[in-house]
Structure 1
Amino acid sequence: MDGTGPIKLDIIVASVRAGRIAPVVADWFAGTARRRPEFEVGIVDLAEIPLPQDLSGGAGAEAFTRQIGAADAFVIVTSEYNHGYPAALKTAIDTVKHEWRTKPVGFVSYGGLSGGLRAVEQLRQVLVEVHMVPVRESVSFHRVKHAFAADGSTSDGAAIDSAERMLDQLAWWARTVRAGRDTEPYPG
């Protein structure tokens, strides 16, 4: 991909639980991102990807790794389980090695009173270790079951504003990393 093409933004849906609200949250964010011409948006739903927990690889893991390698930036849509992020997401992170490196990542979290913020703080620590670049702005839905209308829209002004700011930061980082890669390989 040349330095001027669209930014391939993959939205990773972290929850794999039955009855999850994750697809509603991810679809809302994907719609927001798709209204911006600089992004080409895809959704990677971990509930649909067979990744072995023992990290033994295989065809599913190889296909997932190629998909991660093809993206320029990520947004992780995550719930918070017991003050942490879902186990399926940790498996996904650990399945891939070099393909995460230098890529910017943003977060859309949700939950009860905490809005998933504790999960995001843990993710920031883990993702830096795989050489990703977490952006500062994030989106958080507190009491998520009350945040969306039946049609999947939200009137949460703070979330709408934060989503736009986060997309601005992701675009800047993705373009900057792309330009950097063109002049010098990442030393990690």
Structure 2
Amino acid sequence: MSLKLNVIIGSTRPGRAGPSIGKWVAEHAKKHGKFDVELVDLADFNLPLLDEPNHPRMQKYEHEHTKRWAESVASADAYIFVTPEYDYFPSAAVINALQTLAVEWSFKAAGIVSYAYVSGGLRAAQELRLLMSNLNMMPIPATVPIPFFPNFIDENKVFNPTDPMNDGLTASLDQLHTWASALKAGR
């Protein structure tokens, strides 16, 4: 049973670190070998703030950007959200992207790689997990926090993880695969 994983870059801010960290997550997930992996950048969808007139549960999308976003989300069995922590919370872009849809997220597993300074984004990850649960997703317990993230991005914008970061991501991918397999069978 082949499973598809979308690694979602959850920041659209200029100068963001998300693409560097997201690329590492996607490459690591490909080497992990248990998922077909797609790197998805929220900036490519240009999602406005909740601009659909109908509730997302109805899936009556009128705007092309929402239709493209729904297709991308529906195509995956699992997700890893790569999110910064802004003011002890996930980015507004990732919250909006989650709330734009409903049905497409249901009965799918999700993991989080968070980044910030001292906290490593753990406060944002905890808030994000609550929203995921409310959208009928299974947020896995394993989270990969990256504290002081600028220290790991070189002048070429390449993220250089530590061994514990790599080990944590591997453990998260193992957990994500277990849950995604079970949930796919139940969908």
The normalised TM-score by structure 1 is: 0.90
Runs of 4+ with deviation above 4 angstroms: none
Q: In the alignment, which of 101, 108, 119 is matched to residue 103 of structure 1?
A: 108
The residue aligned with 1:162 is 168
1:77 equivalent to 2:82? Answer: yes
Assess, with a 3 A threshold, how the Cα gap between structure 1 residues 86 and 155 changes in structure 2: closer, same or farther: closer
Unaligned runs of 5+ in 1: 182-188
The residue aligned with 1:39 is 35
The residue aligned with 2:26 is 30
- SS at structure 2 position matched to 1:136: strand
Q: In the alignment, which of 115, 127, 131 is matched to residue 126 of structure 1?
A: 131
Distance 1:35 1:153 in 2: 16
Unaligned runs of 5+ in 2: 53-60
Between the two proteins, the alignment pairs up a number of residues equal to 177
Question: Identity of aligned pairs, percent?
Answer: 33
The normalised TM-score by structure 2 is: 0.90
Assess, with a 3 A threshold, how the Cα gap between structure 1 residues 87 and 153 changes in structure 2: closer, same or farther: closer
Letter in 1 for 2:33: P
- SS at structure 2 position matched to 1:12: strand
Assess, with a 3 A threshold, how the Cα gap between structure 1 residues 153 and 87 changes in structure 2: closer, same or farther: closer
Please provide the CA RMSD for this pair: 1.3
Deviations 1:78-125 (A, max 9, x none): 000111111111111111110100110000010111111110010011
1:180 equivalent to 2:176? Answer: no
Letter in 1 for 2:26: A
